[in-house]
A = this chain, B = another copy of it.
Amino acid sequence: MGNADYECSHKVAVPPSKPFLQSLKSGLKETFFPDDPFRQFKNQPPSRKVLLGLQYLVPILEWAPRYSFQFFKSDLIAGITIASLAVPQGISYASLASLPPIIGLYSSFVPPLVYAMLGSSRDLAVGTVAVASLLMASMLGKVANPTENPQAYLQLAFTATFFAGVLQASLGIFRLGFIVDFLSHATIVGFMGGAATIVCLQQLKGILGLVHFTHETDVVSVMRSVFAQTHKWRWESAVLGCCFLSFLLLTRYFGKRKAAFFWVNAMAPLTSVVLGSILVYLTHAEKHGVQVIGHLKKGLNPPSASELAFGSPHLMTAIKTGFIIGIIGLAEGIAVGRSFAMFKNYHIDGNKEMIAFGMMNMAGSCTSCYLTAGPFSRTAVNFNAGCKSAVSNVVMAAAVMFTLLFLTPLFHYTPLVVLSSIIIAAMLGLIDYEAVIHLWKIDKFDFIVCMGAYLGVVLGSVEIGLIIAVTASLVRILLFVARPRTFALGKIPNSGIYRSVEQYPVADKVPGVLILQIDAPIYFANANYLRERISRWIYEEEDRLKSTGETGLHYIILDMSAIGSIDTSGISMLEEVKKNTDRKGLKFVLANPRSEVIKKLDKSKFIETIGQEWIYLTVGEAVGACSFMLHRYKSNPNAVEYDAQNNV
């Protein structure tokens, strides 16, 4: 043994190999049940298990028994507040989705009730969301014209909503919620910002009182559509729009500055609607270029299960639309729910939320609602108004029901320009330029992803932006693996610690030894690169040693601490490196292989190739052994021959 004389106190253990099925089971558990949702079921009597199971599936059963009148008072106030926002927002977003305004009101009635039973967030206010509405209009608008064939368009919208619900529920049931994680924060910031920009520009239609408008969503088409019709701009509409927009922005500004003013902010949209409607009613501005909502049907949601267009020739478009808006709705809703849950220190189960969202949209699609999720603005108002539980959603639904039953005629004179102002005010809040600056400062690649999403949405379409951002995010992960960083390590003076000489310039290289560290798993995607890179490290080090006249290189130590995994291509790569170093007369030494890696090196017999005695627990011990051998050779040149004969 080459280092038999050197005292090596620690051995790298090869962990006992688990049976295949057992390791498969634990792998599947970590992948699909990382949060261990069945933990509380352990060691419980069967009756209790059934109760817990029901409570798990229908969270209202868990918290309803503990619900108090005190809570109800808070929820009542919060519920009425969000209802005052829900009514104008519902109508506005429905028009954004090219749907009749009444659909927006319907959508604030059934889904919140479903969510109140199944959802696990106490703060989320359910409602339609701007981005999904815009997406629906742009995707479905390509195959069905909402003005020429409103019935077909409406059917496709319900069908898309149904499939969005199916997708959401399935993701939750099959515990594939982590797919949503692939929409990174940077992606969502850029995507939302881009969608908000487009929505704002589109509202110029309402502000300027235009009747005809493009269905495209890129900035060029929209601006061309606006400026091609300069002769049709209506100043009455524009003046009204600017006034209301200023009012909304001012109230938001004060609402943000002082917490006590938050009511002003929350009530501003409803106030605008009321003021606008009274103004139009008194001045008969609807006859002077100010468009109004017109007749709204009284009554609750009609059933729409029979409207689901499964036989439509555009079914595939509806499914595709449903999947995309479903994912977007989930990503936004879960991010919003999680943020507020963090404030109040409770936990949200992503997969359970997905099932709740899915059920709510499937139920919605059968009761004349279109896609609902958890809009940030409404949830923030709910939170600020002091909601205690999902009962605030029930209160909101009741208020909307009351509106549907008795108050719809009041909206007859509501000017569209007020709705446009409400949308613009809400959208401006979604353009989060501060987050973009933060991304630029901290992580340039995240910034690129964010701007890719933004520019893709603004210049191309919502889907293009999404594809660009997701692709860029995935490329980042793949590049991390395909081009891992490698470092040369040195010894930090007066210690036994070895660290990258790049990060710690005080660290000294060890004479005759090159210590390398790799930052990523060794997979097929980087095996070739690493082989090249390691040989480049070796010849660069040899060049350096030659130029400084130091002792030649004798040992290559590979620190495997950061190598989390290896595959068969990676093992072949190590075998090739071993061959190469052998040929150059260098000794290849491993330090600290992790359990996953050492198991595979063992199975593939690479441990035998390299020699168990050349695998050390720490870099320090490996360096110690190498230095010992170097001195042995120096002080006794015959040892080289002796060791060579004994096949060391």
The chain A residues found within 8 Å of chain B, CB to CB, are 9-10, 13, 15, 20, 24, 30-31, 34-36, 178, 181-187, 342, 345, 350, 438-439, 441-446, 473-474, 476-485, 492, 494-495, 497, 499-500, 502-504, 519-521, 523-529, 532-533, 536, 561-562, 564-565, 567-569, 571-572, 576, 579, 583, 594-596, 598, 600, 603-604, 617-618
Contacts and interface: CB of A to CB of B under 8 A. Distances in A.
Given A185-B524, A185-B569, 13 more contacts: A35-B532, A181-B528, A186-B524, A187-B524, A342-B579, A439-B568, A473-B525, A474-B478, A480-B565, A481-B481, A503-B598, A519-B594, A562-B564
Q: 9 tightest A-B contacts by CB?
A: A184-B524, A519-B564, A503-B595, A562-B562, A35-B532, A185-B569, A442-B603, A446-B568, A442-B604
Q: Which of A9, A31, A34, A484 has most chain B Cβ within 10 Å?
A: A34
A618 B473 contact: no
B178 A618 contact: no
Contact of A345 (B438, B473, B567, B583): B583
A619 to B, nearest CB: 11
A567 B445 contact: yes
Given A442-B568, A568-B438, A571-B442, A492 B10 contact: yes
A325 to B, nearest CB: 21
A529 B178 contact: yes
B443 A576 contact: no
Contacts of A523: 184, 476-477, 480
A527 to B, nearest CB: 7
Nearest to A603: B442
A342 B577 CA distance: 11
Contacts of A583: 345
A529 B596 CA distance: 20
Contacts of A571: 442
A110 to B, nearest CB: 30
A443 B502 contact: no
Contacts of A521: 480, 520
A500 B568 contact: no
B443 A568 contact: yes
A17 to B, nearest CB: 11
15 contacts: A13-B503, A13-B504, A31-B483, A184-B524, A184-B567, A342-B579, A442-B571, A443-B568, A473-B524, A476-B523, A480-B523, A485-B564, A499-B617, A519-B564, A519-B565
A283 to B, nearest CB: 50
B485 A481 contact: no
A112 B544 CA distance: 41
Nearest to A519: B564
B564 A561 contact: no
Given A533-B34, A562-B564, A576-B342, A524 B181 contact: yes
Contacts of A525: 178, 181-182, 184, 473, 477
A479 B31 contact: yes
Contacts of A596: 485
Given A34-B533, A523-B476, A495 B568 contact: no
A639 B418 CA distance: 62
Contact of A481 (B30, B442, B444, B480): B480
